[in-house]
Amino acid sequence: MKESIQLVDLIPKEKLDEILQAVNEACGIGSVIADTQGRPISSESNFCSFCKNYCRATPEGRTKCYASDAYGGRMSLDSNEPYVYDCLNAGLVDCATPIIVAGQHIGNLNGGQVLEESISTADAVARAKGIGITDIDGYLLALRKIPRVKRSRLQKIVNLMSVITQSISDMALQRIMLSRQSQEYLNKLINSVSDCIISVDTDFIIDMSNDRCSEVFGCGLNDFCGQSLMRFVADHKVLAAYKSSLEQGGQDNFRFELTALTTKKTPFPVQISISRVNDESGKAISYVAILRDITEEKRIAKMKEDLVGMLTHDMRNPILAIDRALELLAGGRLGPITDNQEKILKLALNTNDQLGSMVNAFLDIFRDENGRFELHKNYYDINKIIRQCIEEHSLLAEEKGLDVSFLQHDQRLTLFCDLFRLKRTVSNILSNAINYNVVGGTIQVRTASLKGSLIEASPYLPRQYRRRLVDSQNYVWMVIADTGFGVPEAYQETIFEKFFTVRTEAGLGRRGIGLGLAFSKLVAEAHDGFIFCRTPSRANPQSRTPGVEFHLVLPSGGPAPPQ
C-alpha cells in the first residue's frame, strides 16, 4: 500500500505562508495551499472580505469553497496544466495548480478571487441564499468590490503559481529523499511497484533495476544490469532521439511508447517515462526510466477497434440491401404500386436511412476518439441542405400533424462544410423535433448569416461560447425550434454526451441510444463551431410543453471559393 505523504510533515506551515505572501505581493490575488479535499493547509492569505466574511462564513459556504478548490486542483491534474475556472460557490474566477510529490497528488495551490465580468444580481442572490447568507445587501456590496482581471492575465498568474508548486514539490521531495537514505528501504520501495524501474548512467548503461524487470524481460537481475538499455528496445532511433534531447537539457523528462524486447527478442509494447537526474550544478549524472508493459491495454484497444469494425460492417450490408430493395419497390420497377403503398415505402426508406445514419454516427464517434475523424469540406448552400432534410422527414411530420416552416434569411446561404456530416446533423436535430413534439405541434427552422459580434451580443448565447467567436468572422446561425416537451435546464449541456437520455417527472422526455446529439456536437466542433439548446423557447415557461430550440453556429468561411 502506498504511503500517504503529508505536505506539512515535509515543509513547515510558516514556510508555506511565507511563499504565499510572496505570491500575493507579486500578483495581488488571494491564495491558499489546500489538501486534495480542498481543506486549507496554509493560512488563507490575502483573502478578500467577500470570500472571508461571506462565502466561507457559513458551513454550507465553506463546504462549497473546499469542493471548488479540490475541483480546480483535480482538473489541473487531469489536464496536466494550470487550470482557470469559475468557482463552484460564488462564481468568481479562480485558478489552481497541483502539488505532486513522489508521484502522489498531495495538495493544490489555489488562487484568484477575481471577476472577468459582472455576476447578475439575481444569480448572486440565489448563490447567497444557497449557502445560508442572511445579510444579502452586505454580500452584494462585497461582491461589487471584487477586482476585475482578464482571464489571460489570470492565466499568466497561474503559470507563475505552477512554477512555485514545482518548487514546493521539489523541496518536499528532497525532504523525502533525505529521510529515506537507507538502501534497504529504497530496495523495498522500488521492488513493491508493478512497473519496471531502471536507473542508467549517462551512456544508458543499466546500473540498477527492480525485481519487476526480471519478470518482464525474462532474465536475472545480474544479467540485466551492466547491459545497455538500447539492447532491450526494438526502436533504437526513437530512444536515441529522446536520449539526445535529455543530454541537451531542453527538457528533463519524456513519456512515450515504444516496442521493447525480452532477452529472447520477443517484442512487446511499453510506455516509458525517462527523467534526467542532475547534480547541484545542473549537470546530468544519470537517468531514471519507468517502464510499463501495456500489452493488455493494446489488446483491449484492438478488440474494441475490431468490434466497432465488425458491427459497422455487418450492419451496413443489410441496411444497404434493405435500402436497394425498398428503392426498387418504391420506383415501381417490380410492378405498379398504389399511392398509399408508395407513401409507406418512402417512410420505410427514411427509417432505414436513419438507421444507417446511426451506424455512421457510431463509427464517426469512434474515429474521433482514436484521432481519425476527418472532414471533407466544400462550399454548399445550407438552405438547400435544410430543405432536403425537411422533405425527407415530411412523411413523419405529416403523421403527427406537425406544421413545419422554414424561415431563411437569404435565398442562398453558402457554408464551407462537410456535406454528408452536416446533413446528418440537421437530420438528427429535425428528427428529434418530430419525435419529441406533440401531435399537431409546430417546428420552425430559421437560418441567418451574422457577424461574430452580433451573435456574441445575443442574450440567448451561453457564456462559455462567447470566447469562441471572432467579431469580424461571418457565421451561419441555424435554429430548429419545436413545441414539444423540452429539455430541463439541468440537462441542456449533458444531453450532448454519448448515451445520455432525458426523462422528466411526468415520464415524458427524450429517449434513444444517445448518439445523435453527441454526433451533432462532434460535427459542430470539428467545423470550429458549437451547438447548444435552450428551454423554454416560448412565452410560458410553466407550460407542460415549453418546447426547445437547438442552435447550431458555424463559421461560414474557408479558402476562397472557386470562380
SS3 364: helix
The runs of H, that is alpha helices, within 199-294 are 211-217, 221-224, 236-248
Neighbours of 370 (CB within 10 A): 12
* pLDDT (0 to 100) of residue 341: 84
The runs of H, that is alpha helices, within 331-418 are 339-369, 382-392, 394-399
* pLDDT (0 to 100) of residue 313: 62
Sign of CA dihedral 419, 422, 424, 427: negative
Contacts of 513 (CB under 8 A, 6+ apart): 358, 499
Q: Side chain identity at 503, as an amino acid letter?
A: R
C-alpha to C-alpha distance for 322 and 473, rounded to whole angstroms: 44
Per-residue pLDDT of the chain (563 residues; tens, 9 = 90+): 345 678 888 888 888 888 888 878 778 888 999 999 999 999 888 899 999 999 999 999 999 999 999 999 999 999 888 999 999 999 999 999 999 988 889 999 998 889 988 899 999 999 999 999 999 999 999 999 998 888 888 888 888 888 888 888 888 888 777 766 656 666 777 777 888 888 889 888 998 888 888 888 888 767 788 888 888 988 888 888 888 888 887 778 888 889 999 888 889 999 999 988 888 788 888 889 999 999 888 888 777 776 666 666 666 667 777 877 887 887 777 778 888 887 788 778 777 776 776 677 666 666 656 666 778 889 999 999 999 999 888 888 988 999 999 998 777 899 999 888 899 899 889 988 998 899 999 999 999 998 988 888 888 888 888 888 988 899 999 999 999 888 888 888 888 887 666 654 444 444 444 677 888 898 899 899 999 998 876 555 566 778 899 999 999 876 555 44
Contacts of 115 (CB under 8 A, 6+ apart): 92, 93, 146, 147, 148, 149
Shared fold status for 7-179 and 377-555: no
SS3 272: strand
Is 393 in contact with 431 (CB distance < 8 Å)? yes
Q: What percent of the chain has pLDDT over 90?
A: 28
Which cell numbers hold the place of 76? 489541473
* pLDDT (0 to 100) of residue 553: 94
Rounded to the nearest 5°, which phi and psi values hold at 474?
A: -85, 135
Query: C-alpha distances in angstroms, 30 versus 23, 24, 27, 157?
Result: 9, 7, 9, 12
Question: 419-435 and 516-526 are packed helices; what angle lies between their axes, rounded to 10 degrees?
Answer: 140
Q: Side chain identity at 538, as an amino acid letter?
A: R
C-alpha to C-alpha distance for 392 and 297, rounded to whole angstroms: 43
DSSP secondary-structure letter at 54?
I
3-class secondary structure per residue, 395-423: HHHHHCCCEEEEEECCCCCEEEEEHHHHH
- What class, spelled out in words, does domain 192-293 have in CATH? alpha beta
Locate the domains of the chain by residue range: 7-179, 192-293, 298-369, 377-555
* pLDDT (0 to 100) of residue 19: 86
Neighbours of 173 (CB within 10 A): 16
Q: What kind of architecture, by CATH, is found in domain 377-555?
A: 2-Layer Sandwich (3.30)
Query: Which residue reads 453527441 in cell numbers?
Result: 518
C-alpha to C-alpha distance for 543 and 524, rounded to whole angstroms: 30
Query: C-alpha distances in angstroms, 66 versus 94, 241, 269?
Result: 13, 44, 41
Contacts of 550 (CB under 8 A, 6+ apart): 429, 432, 433, 479, 480, 481, 531, 532, 533
CATH 3.30.450 fits 7-179, yes or no: yes
DSSP secondary-structure letter at 313?
H
